[in-house]
Structure 1
Amino acid sequence: MTLQTPQDIDLTACDREPIHIPGSIQPHGILLAVRLSDRTLAYASANIAEIFGLDPSDTLGRSFAEVLPVLSRDFEAALADPPPAGTTQYLRTIEVSTAQGRRTYEAAISRSGECAVLELEETPSEAVASLDSLYPTLRRFVEQLQGASSIDALCGLAAQDIRRMTGFDRVLIYRFDEQWNGTVIAEDRNEVLPSYLDLRFPASDIPAQARELYRRNRLRIISDANYIPVPIQSRDPAPLDLSDSVLRSVSPVHLEYMRNMGTLASMSISILRDGRLWGLISCHSKEPKRVSLQVRNACDFLTQIFSLQLEARENTSLAENRVRLGTVQTRLLAHMAAEEHFIAGLVNHPDDLMLLADAQGAAVLTQDHCWCLGQTPAEKDVKALFAWLSRNNQEDVFATDSLSQVYPAAKAYTDRASGLLAISISKAQSSYVLWFRPEVVQTVKWGGNPQKPVQEEAGTARLHPRRSFEIWKETVQERSLPWDRSEIEAVRELRHAIVGIVLRRAEELASISEELRRSNKELEAFSYSVSHDLRAPFRHIVGYSELLKKQEGSDLSEKGRRYVDTIIDSAYTAGTLVDNLLRFSQMGRTALKPRRIDMRRLVDEIRQQLTVHAGGRRVDWVIGDLPEVTADPVLIRLVFENLLDNALKYTRPREKARIEIGSTRKAGETIFFVRDNGVGFDMKYIDKLFGVFQRLHRMEDFEGTGIGLANVRRIVERHGGRAWAEGALDRGATVSIALPDETKTEGAA
Structure 2
Amino acid sequence: MEQKTAPLNVTIEKNYDSELCGSIPLHLVNLIQPHGMLLVLDKVDYTIIQVSENADRFLHLQAEQLLSQPLSVFIPENQYREVLRKIKSQGIHDKIPFTLTFNVGGNDVVFTTLILVHENYILVEMELSDPSEQESFTSFYQHIKYITTLLKQAVSIKEVAQVATDELKKFTSFDKVMVYQFDPNWNGIVIGQAKEDDMDDYMDLRFPASDVPKQARELYFKNPYRLIPTRSYTPVRLVPIINPKTQRFTDLSDCSLRSVANVHLEYLANMKVDASMSLPIIIDNKLWGLISCHHKTAKYTSYEMRSAMELVSGILSAQLEARQKEENMGLRVKLRSIHASLMEQLYSSSSFADGLLEGNVDIQQLLDLSGAAVMFEGNIWTSGDTPTDQEIKELVSWLRRNKANGQFATASLPTVYPHSKRYMDKASGLIAMPINAEQGEFILGFRPEVQQTLQWGGDPNNAIQMEQDGKSYHPRNSFATYIETVKYTSLPWQQEEEDAAETLRSAVLEKIIKER
2:369 aligned with 1:362: no
Q: CA RMSD in A?
A: 2.7
1:133-144 pair list within 5 angstroms:
133-144=139-150
Query: 2:40: which partner in 1?
Result: 33
After the TM superposition, which residues 392-407 of structure 1 pair with which residues of structure 2 at under 5 Å, given as runs? 392-393=402-403, 396-407=406-417
2:86 to 68, 78, 82: 78
Structure 1: tracts of 5 or more residues without a match: 1-10, 510-749
**Equivalent position to 2:124, from 118, 141, 144:** 118
Distance, in Å, in 1 between the alignment partners of 2:410 and 2:300 is: 44
Displacement of 1:56 in angstroms is 4.6
What displacement does 1:106 show?
A: 1.8
**SS of 1:13's equivalent?**
helix
Count of residues paired in the alignment: 493
Whether 2:512 is the aligned partner of 1:498: answer: no
2:444 is aligned, of 422, 434, 446, to: 434
- Could you tell me how far 1:72 is from its partner in structure 2? 3.8
- Residues 37 and 127, structure 2, Cα contact 8 Å, conserved in 1: yes
The structure-2 alpha-carbon separation of the partners of 1:146 and 1:54, relative to structure 1 and needing over 3 Å to count, comes to: closer
Alpha-carbon distance between aligned partners in 2 of 1:475 and 1:133, rounded to the nearest angstrom? 48
Range with greater deviation from structure 2 (252-261 or 130-139)? 130-139
- Does residue 137 of structure 2 align to residue 131 of structure 1? yes
Aligned-pair CA distance for 1:356: 1.0
Q: Could you report, residue by residue, the CA deviation over 1:697-746 in whole angstroms, capped at 9, with x for unpaired residues? A: xxxxxxxxxxxxxxxxxxxxxxxxxxxxxxxxxxxxxxxxxxxxxxxxxx
Q: Distance in 1 between matches of 2:314 and 2:486?
A: 34
Partner residue, 1:446: 456
Q: How does 1:670-689 map to 2 (within 5 A)?
A: none
Q: Give the counterpart of 2:300 among 276, 281, 290.
A: 290
The CA deviation string for residues 622-668 of structure 1, in whole angstroms up to 9 with x for no partner, is xxxxxxxxxxxxxxxxxxxxxxxxxxxxxxxxxxxxxxxxxxxxxxx
Question: Matches of 1:352 and 1:159 in 2, distance apart?
Answer: 43
Contact 1:131 1:298 (8 Å CA) reproduced: no
Is 1:187 equivalent to 2:198 in the alignment?
no
1:389 aligns to what? Answer: 399
1:349-748 matched pairs, under 5 angstroms: 349=359, 352-366=362-376, 368-393=378-403, 396-450=406-460, 451-456=462-467, 459-460=469-470, 462-502=472-512, 504-505=513-514
Matched residues in 2 for 1:392 and 1:38: separation? 63
| Deviation of 1:447 (Å) | 0.9
- 1:266, 1:366 → 2: CA distance? 60
Residue in 2 aligned with 1:162?
Answer: 168
Tell me the distance in 1 between the aligned counterparts of 2:238 and 2:442. 60
Matched, 1:20 2:27: yes
| CA pair 131-402 structure 1, distance change in 2 beyond 3 A | farther
| Alignment pair present for 1:207 and 2:213 | yes
Cα distance in 1 between the residues matched to 2:386 and 2:106 = 77
Offset at residue 339 of structure 1 (A): 3.7
**2: CA distance, partners of 1:99 / 1:430:** 86
Alpha-carbon distance change, 37 to 411 in structure 1, aligned in 2, over 3 angstroms: farther
- CA deviations 1:507-534 (Å, max 9, x no partner) are x85xxxxxxxxxxxxxxxxxxxxxxxxx
CA drift at 1:441 = 1.6
Which residue in 1 is equivalent to 2:59? 52
How far off its partner does 1:14 sit?
A: 1.0
**Aligned AA for 1:495?**
R
Counterpart for residue 343 of structure 2: 333
Aligned partner of 1:65 in structure 2 is: 72
Partners of 2:370 and 2:160 in 1: CA distance: 32
More helix by share: 1
**Aligned sequence identity (%):** 36
- Kindly indicate whether residue 277 of structure 2 is the aligned counterpart of residue 252 of structure 1: no
Whole-Å Cα distance in 2 between the matches of residues 299 and 453 of structure 1?
31
Structure 2: give runs of 5+ residues left out of the alignment. Answer: 1-17
3-state DSSP of counterpart to 2:434: strand
| Aligned residue in 1 for 2:235 | 229
CA contact (8 A) 2:449 2:489 kept: yes
Deviations along 1:34-56, one digit per CA (max 9) or x if unpaired, are 34344343443222354335555
With over 3 angstroms needed to count, the CA separation of the structure-2 counterparts of 1:351 and 1:360, relative to structure 1, is farther
Moved more, 323-332 or 403-412: 403-412
Output one character per residue of 1:318-373: Cα deviation in whole Å (capped at 9) or x when no partner.
Answer: 11211111111112222232245534422344952011111111122346233232
State TM-score, norm by structure 2.
0.88
Matches within 5 A, 1:90-109: 90-97=96-103, 102-109=108-115
